[in-house]
Amino acid sequence: MKNRWNVIVIGGGHAGIEAAWAAAKFGRAAMLVGNPATIGRMPCNPSVGGPGKSQLVFELQALGGLMPTLADQTAIHTRVLNASKGPAVQSLRVQNERDLYATVAQDALLSVPELDILRGEAADLESDGQGGWWVVTTDGRRFWGRSVVVAAGTFMRGVTWYGRQSRHEGRQGEPPSRYLSAALEQGGHTLKRFKTGTPPRVRADSVRFGDLTVIPADQPARSFTGTPGPHAEASPTWQTHTTPLTHRLVAENIGHSAMYAGDIDALGARYCPSIEDKIMRFAHHDRHLLFVEPEGLETSEVYLQGFSSSLPPELQDVLVRTLPGFEQAVIQRYAYAVEYDVVDSTELTMNLESRRLPGVYTAGQLNGTSGYEEAAMQGLVAGTAAARRAAGLSEETFSRADGYLGVLLDDLMLKGCDEPFRMMTSRVEHRLLVRQDNADERLTPLAQRLGLVGQVQLDAVQAKYRRVEAGMQALARQRLDGKPAEVHLRRPEVSLVDLEAQGVQLPELSREEKEAVEIRVKYAGYLDRARRQLDAEAKAGRLSLSGVDFAAVPSLSLEGREKLLRHAPTTVEQASRIQGVRHADISALLVHLKQRQGGGGRSAHS
């Protein structure tokens, strides 16, 4: 029916793309965006992955997401970070062709029969009184959806800053979303202001690359999908650094920064500081490393990662030329900061549905996160949940044990964020069990059950791990120096390549499958210990709080009771991670559960 969809997605960034891609697998969906030509644009660094982020991208691949394919098809440089460390923290990072990424994303969405791309600015959300929603645009058009996903990025009341000068923009050259914030506030949501920034883009022919440190791409190339793109080894990246002159000039001119002058009250990202923050907050450092990355193979710009700034353009010109290799640099696009509205993520369910506006979901930077990968995962979760709600299907939630996606959702819902949230490996308690290399094994069966991937993808994953198991059995059967080959492989200095050189025979395995064999054998003891610890925690944490009236539980602290009523955790595990809920509060809950159940069995939450 005209102007009626199961799910309407507002926004065409990384969250909006995944939400629309997932929702269209369940029925008719629409994406409402101000300018369809900007769908998939990478406003910050043109790369995907990195520590804590590549794990999310591999999980997106297991769940049928689009970002892994886009990243691989447009890759011009791939590299595994932390390669010398253990598998729990090894992370793939892919450098992408900025313009091509957006083009491929748009082509992918346009190829989906059940997805309509609509042009317009959302101004209001109106309940139809029966569980559905009208999305009203600024020009008065009305679109109806059973569910709505709001993925507005940095556009809600967005303001960009170039020094002390501001513009009403969601990002450079694009108008903000002017009215949607008020719609969420009127619906009962609490909004906050966050800030992020982007570095300058410099003309490549003005950089002396011979003075920079070269960072070559991995060979052979790596990928998220198992199929590297055609140009994945095409370009290196480079490294430079700040100098004492850079530091002196920043310190002398710090009053020209919108942030330090007090023009911006919004909170910035702790783990992605501006060049001003780096120099002022870490004055004891003589230099800060910066990375020089190409915007694409056919473009004339390079991206100066680590040099985001809200200093005025004329000062940026001077500062950039203090960097080795950039003495004659010409900036083509200046750095800027952007401040924008975010919702309080503790007002959402684990599926990113609004507790205030049932049927409305939010995803991406609107929820307080930073980064393409965090946004994309939220988009997939919100789009799937919105579509399943619209279709009358059961709800599925993810736990911390499921992987990085569960940790991301859990931290957002239970802890919230007072600054832009970045996913990191250190946030994940059982990261040895939820590595990037086993995301397909962990999540593809669930994705197939949910309708996100087909049987063909599940069959391929299961066949892969049958081959991995065959490789492990081959190591157990064959002997070297009187010992099973697997015993030798457990030694830190011995690799699978070493064993093959000594005559150990393996079935035909891909590089990824050989790595999986090596990880499982070499870290077997650690993996077993981690599984036992996880099982013990899960046993206590699965106690259900469904139906518990926290207002009536005796002996809770005042703050603990307030936080439990606010967050409404469904398990003891969730309750234990809410900031402000003390150990004594958890003990009081356990006593209450035991008394309520007469000291008998327990209620399990799966």
251-261 pLDDT per residue, tens? 999 999 887 87
Name the residue range of residue 469's domain: 454-539
Q: Is residue 486 part of a domain?
A: yes
Q: Is residue 465 part of a domain?
A: yes
SS3 content of the chain, % helix, strand, coil (to 5): 40, 20, 40
Per-residue model confidence as pLDDT tens digits over 397-420: 998 889 999 999 999 998 888 899
Q: Which positions ≥6 away from 449 have C-beta within 8 Å?
A: none
Q: Looking at residue 604, what is its pLDDT?
A: 34
Whether residue 465 is found in the same domain as residue 509: yes
State the pLDDT confidence band at 603, using cuts at 50, 70 and 90.
Answer: very low
Last residue of a domain, one of 494, 512, 539: 539
Mean pLDDT calculated for residue range 144-148: 98
Share of the chain above pLDDT 70, in %: 99
Output the CA–CA distances (angstroms, integers) from residue 112 to 84, 106, 194, in the order listed: 41, 10, 34
Using alpha carbons only, how large is the chain's radius of gyration in Å?
A: 25
Q: What is the mean pLDDT of the chain?
A: 93
Residue 262 has pLDDT above 90, yes or no: no
Q: Is residue 523 part of a domain?
A: yes
Per-residue model confidence as pLDDT tens digits over 425-474: 988 988 999 999 999 999 999 999 999 999 999 999 999 999 999 999 99
Q: Looking at residue 243, what is its pLDDT?
A: 97
CB 363 within 8 A of CB 152: no
Contacts 24+ apart (CB under 8 A), 590-593: 590/543, 591/555, 592/548, 592/553, 592/554, 593/543, 593/545, 593/548
CA distance 135 to 503: 66
Whether residue 468 is found in the same domain as residue 531: yes
Whether residue 458 is found in the same domain as residue 520: yes
CA distance 440 to 458: 9
Mean pLDDT calculated for residue range 76-102: 96
Strands 483-484 and 201-203: unpaired
Residue 160 has pLDDT above 70, yes or no: yes
Q: Is residue 61 part of a domain?
A: no
Per-residue model confidence as pLDDT tens digits over 469-489: 999 999 999 999 999 999 999
Per-residue model confidence as pLDDT tens digits over 105-121: 999 999 999 999 999 99
Q: Is residue 531 part of a domain?
A: yes
Strands 331-333 and 201-203: antiparallel
Whether residue 531 is found in the same domain as residue 552: no
Q: Looking at residue 446, what is its pLDDT?
A: 97
SS3 535: helix
Closest by Cα among 397, 381, 364, 377 to 570: 397
Last residue of a domain, one of 539, 572, 587: 539
Whether residue 488 is found in the same domain as residue 475: yes
Mean pLDDT calculated for residue range 587-599: 82
Q: How many Cα atoms are found within 13 Å in the side-chain-facing hemisphere of 497?
A: 3
Q: Which CATH number characterizes residue 534's domain?
A: 1.10.10.1800
Whether residue 470 is found in the same domain as residue 517: yes
pTM of the complete model beyond 0.85:
yes
Whether residue 547 is found in the same domain as residue 529: no
Last residue of a domain, one of 488, 516, 539: 539
DSSP count for the chain of H helices, then E strands: 19, 22
CA distance 64 to 115: 16
User: What's the domain count of the chain?
Assistant: 2
> How does 181-210 read in b/e, with b if 16+ C-beta sit within 10 Å?
bebbeeeebebbebbbbbbbbbebebbeee
Q: Which CATH number characterizes residue 593's domain?
A: 1.10.150.570
Whether residue 461 is found in the same domain as residue 534: yes
Q: Is residue 477 part of a domain?
A: yes
Whether residue 463 is found in the same domain as residue 532: yes
Residue 600 has pLDDT above 50, yes or no: no
Per-residue model confidence as pLDDT tens digits over 494-553: 999 999 999 999 999 999 999 999 999 999 999 999 999 888 777 777 788 988 999 999
| CA distance between the termini of the chain | 38
- The DSSP code sequence of 257-321 is STTTTTS--SB--TTS--HHHHHHHTTT-S--EEEEEES-SS-SEEEEET----S-HHHHHHHHT
Per-residue model confidence as pLDDT tens digits over 3-19: 899 999 999 999 999 99
Closest by Cα among 475, 411, 419, 467 to 440: 467
Q: Looking at residue 1, what is its pLDDT?
A: 60
Whether residue 535 is found in the same domain as residue 547: no
Q: Is residue 530 part of a domain?
A: yes
Mean pLDDT calculated for residue range 173-185: 95
Q: How many Cα atoms are found within 13 Å in the side-chain-facing hemisphere of 387?
A: 25
Q: Is residue 313 part of a domain?
A: no
